[in-house]
Chains A and B, each alone.
Chain A
């Protein structure tokens, strides 16, 4: 059943990852990285830094989601659980325990990893739609917990989280410092995920995605590899959530709500499923769109639903996927 989905993903990987093995391809990837880093450095001089911080947090989140769907073919409908839970833990660590920026990020990310291990253990044994249903239900459990546990402050949210200083020196209340710190966190996560996708482990995940029975017959314990991918994806979603919590000084129930899981799916889909830069582009588009719609008075959820429908019917490759497809044809 993963025939159809593997089609666009394979095309994408053949233009992104496969050339990395040849020296010319590696050069090309380096060029892309160079351009990306230059864009990251220059961006705050053209756009409002806080907006960019939001885009980067969601871009990292979308990349984490894409890691699971793109390389494993597992559609998680509950990634907000890791994003939000990590945010709550990081925020609590920074505010109540007085931990530094870095330590709070580590706490939040570790919490997401632990939650990912727990949820992954029961969910990866089911496939396809069942997997999506289970992750959605488990995430709802986290949502209700967030509504009732004392340290999340329910409807009010965890607010007034102190940003602190990076490395004890640079004050994050300066929005440029905040932006560059976020950009570094994003880059670390992005490079780690890219490395993983191209590693032997990443290749193995693709083999499992494309033909699970064959991977089993070759002696691989597929559930264990899927679980590892799930935990990694949850961890990265947690890193994104922790960063967002501290950068915006607030964690609210929307961060663990299923609508956030839906919006990260939309980002990945719109940008290009299984592509390297797709989730980043998708996050930028969706975040700008949500900001714009919030002031427009239009029914925001209905518009997003409509875009979802159009995207699936007419634009399944996504922005980056479509560009790669056009370039590849020529």
Chain B
């Protein structure tokens, strides 16, 4: 095997890891605040990719504007769904939240398949980011490097916003004890809408980053969300940093498997999950409850 192929696949692994990180981070925020496992996260990722494509082909709005606009649009769609649908199941068993978001996922994906068919649509790399650097041991396509950087920035910004800002402090308080937070005059239901919006906006942003790499198709997020679930189980629900590190690690491992044993590349994360559950049932960074 050539070094170029090895590093190329590791880079792809790192990129996938970035997407896992952004999706699982959004999942963690939503779960913490709303107690809902948002299985539609993959559909919002697809929505992000598709909105990027539509902005360009229907309105002539380019990549960088999309990177700014799409998370806002996807976040607003998410907030609307939270306000109209999810709100109604908070006082029920958590199971109903999962099933409701499953219905939302089926609906969004089904509609896109109906109107756009399942074929992938190409989206070109913005000219400022096309081309490649020669690193000596490999060629690094500029755009791929950009994706890894941008997603790390997105994740760190989210981490910073949650841990260090006053909005983050209120969010964390609402996660910890919604009733008491409400007694202090904080609008907790409003915060939940915002939290869900931020969570799905992260998935939407991942969709924008993915558009020039993977063809934009209605089912691009369908299998991804299951991998992200496995990543979350491996990392364990707990720390934000833990889930970012786990995502990157598993992405890299997946890339490595593509070189060593290509047939196993789409299974390796699930196998790792199985093994981790055998050895450490609470996950790598999780705590046993």
A-B contacts counted at CB < 8 A amount to: 132
Interface residues in B185-226 (C-beta closer than 8 Å to A):
223, 226
With a CB–CB cut-off of 8 A, which chain B residues contact A313? 85, 88-89, 100
Q: Mark A34-60, 1 if CB is under 8 A from B, else 0.
A: 000000000000000000000000000
With a CB–CB cut-off of 8 A, which chain B residues contact A211? none
Q: Mark B210-249, 1 if CB is under 8 A from A, else 0.
A: 0000000000000100110110110001000000000000
How far, in whole Å, are A269 and B99 apart by their CA atoms in the complex? 10
Q: Which residue of A lies closest to B111 (CB)?
A: A302
Contact of A309 among B103, B233, B274 (CB under 8 A): B103
Instruction: Evaluate whether A140 and B95 lie within 8 angstroms (CB atoms) in the complex, with A299-B114, A300-B110, A312-B103 already known.
Output: no
How far, in whole Å, are A265 and B273 apart by their CA atoms in the complex? 24
With a CB–CB cut-off of 8 A, which chain A residues contact B233? 126, 130, 133-134, 137
- The answer to whether A141 and B274 touch across the interface, beta carbons within 8 angstroms, is yes
With a CB–CB cut-off of 8 A, which chain B residues contact A299? 110-111, 113-114
Q: Which residue of B lies closest to A3 (CB)?
A: B93
- The answer to whether B273 and A305 touch across the interface, beta carbons within 8 angstroms, is no
Instruction: Evaluate whether A305 and B110 lie within 8 angstroms (CB atoms) in the complex, with A129-B94, A138-B274 already known.
Output: yes
Stretch with Cβ within 8 A of A (4 or more), from B65-73, B132-140, B166-174, B263-271? B263-271
B106 within 8 A of A: yes
A1 within 8 A of B: yes
With a CB–CB cut-off of 8 A, which chain B residues contact A262? 102, 106
- The answer to whether A302 and B110 touch across the interface, beta carbons within 8 angstroms, is yes
A306 within 8 A of B: yes
Q: Mark A286-330, 1 if CB is under 8 A from B, else 0.
A: 000000000000011111111111011100100000000000000
With a CB–CB cut-off of 8 A, which chain A residues contact B107? 301-302, 305-306, 308-309
Instruction: Evaluate whether A304 and B274 lie within 8 angstroms (CB atoms) in the complex, with A129-B98, A137-B226 already known.
Output: no
How far, in whole Å, are A122 and B271 apart by their CA atoms in the complex? 12
A144 within 8 A of B: yes
- The answer to whether B110 and A303 touch across the interface, beta carbons within 8 angstroms, is yes
- The answer to whether B113 and A301 touch across the interface, beta carbons within 8 angstroms, is yes
Contact of A141 among B89, B100, B102, B267 (CB under 8 A): B267
Interface residues in A1-43 (C-beta closer than 8 Å to B):
1-5
- The answer to whether B229 and A308 touch across the interface, beta carbons within 8 angstroms, is no
How far, in whole Å, are A122 and B111 apart by their CA atoms in the complex? 36
Interface residues in A225-274 (C-beta closer than 8 Å to B):
258, 262, 265, 269
B175 within 8 A of A: no
Instruction: Evaluate whether A122 and B278 lie within 8 angstroms (CB atoms) in the complex, with A299-B113, A299-B114 already known.
Output: yes
Instruction: Evaluate whether A308 and B102 lie within 8 angstroms (CB atoms) in the complex, with A1-B94, A123-B277, A140-B223 already known.
Output: yes
Q: Mark A125-160, 1 if CB is under 8 A from B, else 0.
A: 110111011101110110011001000000000000
- The answer to whether A133 and B37 touch across the interface, beta carbons within 8 angstroms, is yes
B92 within 8 A of A: yes
With a CB–CB cut-off of 8 A, which chain A residues contact B232? 133
How far, in whole Å, are A136 and B225 apart by their CA atoms in the complex? 10
With a CB–CB cut-off of 8 A, which chain B residues contact A148? 263
Q: Which residue of A lies closest to B95 (CB)?
A: A75
- The answer to whether A258 and B109 touch across the interface, beta carbons within 8 angstroms, is no
Q: Which residue of A lies closest to B115 (CB)?
A: A299
How far, in whole Å, are A300 and B114 apart by their CA atoms in the complex? 9
Interface residues in A72-100 (C-beta closer than 8 Å to B):
75
B96 within 8 A of A: yes
With a CB–CB cut-off of 8 A, which chain A residues contact B31? 129
- The answer to whether B99 and A265 touch across the interface, beta carbons within 8 angstroms, is yes
How far, in whole Å, are A309 and B81 apart by their CA atoms in the complex? 11
Most buried by A among B227, B229, B232: B229
B79 within 8 A of A: no
How far, in whole Å, are A306 and B107 apart by their CA atoms in the complex? 6
Q: Which residue of B lies closest to A147 (CB)?
A: B266
Instruction: Evaluate whether A308 and B99 lie within 8 angstroms (CB atoms) in the complex, with A133-B233, A148-B263 already known.
Output: yes
Q: Write the nearest CB–CB distance from A273 to chain B, whole angstroms.
A: 10
B91 within 8 A of A: yes
With a CB–CB cut-off of 8 A, which chain A residues contact B274? 122, 138, 141
Interface residues in A165-222 (C-beta closer than 8 Å to B):
none
With a CB–CB cut-off of 8 A, which chain B residues contact A3? 93
With a CB–CB cut-off of 8 A, which chain A residues contact B104? 305, 309
B105 within 8 A of A: yes
Most buried by A among B89, B230, B270, B271: B270
- The answer to whether B106 and A312 touch across the interface, beta carbons within 8 angstroms, is no
How far, in whole Å, are A4 and B171 apart by their CA atoms in the complex? 26
Contact of B100 among A2, A133, A145, A309 (CB under 8 A): A309
How far, in whole Å, are A4 and B94 apart by their CA atoms in the complex? 9
Given contacts A137-B233, A302-B110, 11 further A-B contacts (CB under 8 A): A1-B93, A4-B91, A4-B96, A133-B229, A134-B273, A137-B270, A141-B274, A300-B110, A305-B105, A308-B106, A316-B92
In the assembled complex, 26 residue pairs joining A and B whose CB atoms fall closer than 8 Å, in A order, are A2-B93, A5-B93, A5-B95, A126-B281, A128-B94, A129-B37, A130-B237, A134-B229, A136-B226, A137-B226, A137-B229, A137-B230, A137-B233, A138-B273, A145-B267, A262-B106, A265-B102, A269-B99, A301-B106, A301-B109, A302-B110, A302-B113, A305-B106, A312-B96, A313-B85, A316-B92
Residues of B within 8 A of A (CB): 31, 37, 85, 88-89, 91-96, 98-100, 102-111, 113-114, 223, 226-227, 229-230, 232-233, 237, 263, 266-267, 270-271, 273-274, 277-278, 281
6 cross-chain pairs, A with B, having the tightest CB-CB distances, nearest first: A305-B106, A302-B110, A308-B103, A301-B110, A305-B107, A299-B114
